[in-house]
Amino acid sequence: MRTIILPNELNIDLNDIQIYDYHSAKEITKQQITLNYNTISFLLQGSKEVYGNNSTLSIENSEFLVMKSGHCLMTEKLSEKQQYRSFLLFFSNEILLKLAQKNKLLPSKQKAYTSVYAFNYDSFVTGFVKSLIDISKLSKNTQQRMLKLKLEEIILYLSDKFGTDFLYSLIANSDNVTNKFMQTIESNKLNKLTLKELAFLCNMSVSSFKRQFEKQYAESPIKWFQNQRLEHAHYLIHKEKKSSSEIYYNVGYENLSSFIQAYKTKYGVTPKQQSMN
């Protein structure tokens, strides 16, 4: 699958702040995306799912996403009218840091930041998006002058309402390769991602990913992920009283019989026998 680099591939001028009104009539599933800028995706039609290196979020068009620059996998589904629309606001780390310093937006005591945040629309954000759409119709020179003020406006609003964790998630340095690698693994251990998709999120080749994985976890990725998903299945069956037919697909198996066999191999009993204990 080809990797899409944003905003570079949108044929727009690459300034510190940029907007783009994205429309599509075609669904995509786990598209590999490299975000060269931090991005706010104001979803207007359809639904969206994003797999980041340490978080996964699904939203409908009552919500919008704030995403850190870097690698992600993105799924876009069409609305009932067979349309997808997202108004995108791109901005660099440099301008965001200046904005935070200017307005004395201090970090909280939280240290564990995530790469994707979701927020609900309210009347303020709805009006803000409408104003961005109006600005997009102006000349490029006027757009740039106004967008600096608009970015400051939305950052101040979100910081006042939700705190600054999302802001410092965007700014935070993520150069520690080992920590980023393990965050990606732990946050996606129950997601049905291929090794190629996981390697992409870690910005690695598949062979490098396998070597790093075995170095950190002392076993192969396939075996480790299978054990994690079977342990989760065990919890769902034993504690949540779920049946095999309800859970086998969501824990990574394409058919029920292969799930039952794998479960029995690990636990010595079938899921049905387990549920009777």
**Are 160 and 181 contained in the same domain?**
no
**Are 162 and 236 contained in the same domain?**
no
**Are 76 and 205 contained in the same domain?**
no
**What are phi and psi for residue 249, nearest 5 degrees?**
-70, -40
Higher pLDDT, residue 80 or 180: 80
**Are 107 and 184 contained in the same domain?**
no
Distance CA 114, CA 93 (A): 16
Which of 147, 171, 195 is the C-terminal boundary of a domain? 171
Task: Convert the pLDDT of each residue in 31-66 to its tens digit.
Answer: 999 999 999 999 999 999 999 988 899 999 999 999
Which of 138, 171, 204 is the C-terminal boundary of a domain? 171
State the CB neighbour count (10 A cutoff) for residue 142. 11
Asked whether the bond before 271 is cis by omega within 30 degrees of 0, the reply is no
**Are 161 and 203 contained in the same domain?**
no
pLDDT of residue 142: 94
Q: Is the pLDDT of residue 13 over 90?
A: no
**Are 149 and 182 contained in the same domain?**
no
Question: Domain count of the chain?
Answer: 2
Q: Is the pLDDT of residue 132 over 90?
A: yes
Which of 119, 149, 171 is the C-terminal boundary of a domain? 171
**Are 119 and 222 contained in the same domain?**
no
Per the structure, the complete domain to which residue 19 belongs is given by: 4-171
**Are 98 and 222 contained in the same domain?**
no
**Are 165 and 181 contained in the same domain?**
no
Local confidence band at 277 (pLDDT 50, 70, 90 cut-offs) = low
